[in-house]
A = this chain, B = another copy of it.
Amino acid sequence: MQTYQEMSKEELYGIKEGLEKEYARYKGLGLALNMARGKPAPEQLDLSMPMMDVLDSSSVLQSVDGTDCRNYGELDGITEAKELMAQIAGTTPEHVLVYGNSSLNVMYDTVSRSFIHGVMGHTPWCRLEKVKFLCPVPGYDRHFSITEFFGVEMVNIPMTAEGPDMDMVERLVSTDETIKGIWCVPKYSNPQGISYSDETVRRFAALKPAAKDFRIYWDNAYAVHHLYENDQDHILDIISECEKAGNPDMVYEFFSTSKVSFSGAGVAAIASSVDNLADIKKQLGVQTIGHDKINQLRHVRYFKNINGINAHMMKQAAIMRPKFEMVEHILEEELGGLGIGNWKKPKGGYFICFEALEGCAKNIVAKAKEAGVGLTAAGAPFPYGKDEKDSVIRIAPTFPSMEELEQAAKIFVLCVKLASIEKILA
């Protein structure tokens, strides 16, 4: 099979003509499809509906230690919620502080706290000339929005198949004390679906940061979000690895049940060292009296433990897997061998990361939009929205129905072909 690059101009013009007709036809359909955000499909949410029955007016809304979950208090969450959340993160309850419904909110507040209050007695970042974060790219746009909002300078770190380029991370973190953090999605990373190797996790845990208030922002968003029952990634527990390496306070781990139970009504948490949690609680006690303990109780009574969570996630996988596989199939079928894009087959998480020819991503996204297919903005997976190569596109296959997704994927590959030919011919 010939790649587009190997074809003659005439051949390409010929192909282009056919593609443009097809594209015009799609435009005529007035579609409104969306592969933009990592949202669960309604069918995934339906799986959690029995959770709405576990508490009713006859329930005793007390935690295992007798706390009235209807009243004020318990800043760090009820005992059994700490236990459940610890199991999700693969750590122990004394390392867990349970929050409200949004792990993004926990991350924002963690940066905000460091900015205003400082980290464990260190200078608040608002008083520093410069604060930098390392950002493995491509990464999660909402991470970058937080650090951008606080005026943090973001430094790109390339991703490898094993995680971030650790040589670069080690060199920068050990020499530049303005570097205060790094954003990580260690498992089924957003958007590439890469899981950090054991060596990567150990090198993270063994970092020797120049800044004493450097922290790893470990967004374990997809801790239990496998697509396959028998082909799952497992990462090392960063909390205990940091302890072993003599850096117990170096990591904040974030996670939630947003994509386990309900996306707006789950339970979020932070896991960290006991000393970090004590530092956090000093501020948190000023911010709130406590989070929603009834929702914590509802989650624990429904899922019970990690086995309940895992069984539930396999039901979700049964809904999500065919969607991923269909998109992968269409990509392979339509683009395989053409030399105009690369992608990997993720084993979990919410995204397929498509790497187009350089200079094509924006054009592809624009063309798709014109034909009624919403995609995450090109550049979004990079700090400041700047993809220097204009190449990465994040595909989110979960929310649309199979029918919509099939159509959207077909339009997507069409747009990839068109934009690639335009690029090659330009």
Interface residues of A (CB under 8 A from B): 37, 39-40, 42, 45, 48-53, 55-57, 59, 61, 68-74, 100-102, 104-105, 108-109, 112, 115-117, 126, 142, 145-146, 149-150, 258, 262-265, 283, 286-295
Contacts and interface: CB of A to CB of B under 8 A. Distances in A.
Contact of A45 (B51, B70, B101): B70
B288 A104 contact: yes
A149 to B, nearest CB: 5
A35 B179 CA distance: 48
A275 to B, nearest CB: 20
A295 B112 contact: no
A59 B104 CA distance: 28
A373 to B, nearest CB: 19
A102 B289 contact: yes
A52 B57 contact: yes
Contacts of A42: 68, 70-71
A264 B98 CA distance: 13
Nearest to A69: B264
A318 to B, nearest CB: 19
A153 B203 CA distance: 45
A104 B287 contact: yes
Contacts of A126: 115-116, 126
A167 to B, nearest CB: 32
Given A71-B262, A100-B100, A116 B112 contact: yes
B263 A71 contact: yes
A74 B45 CA distance: 17
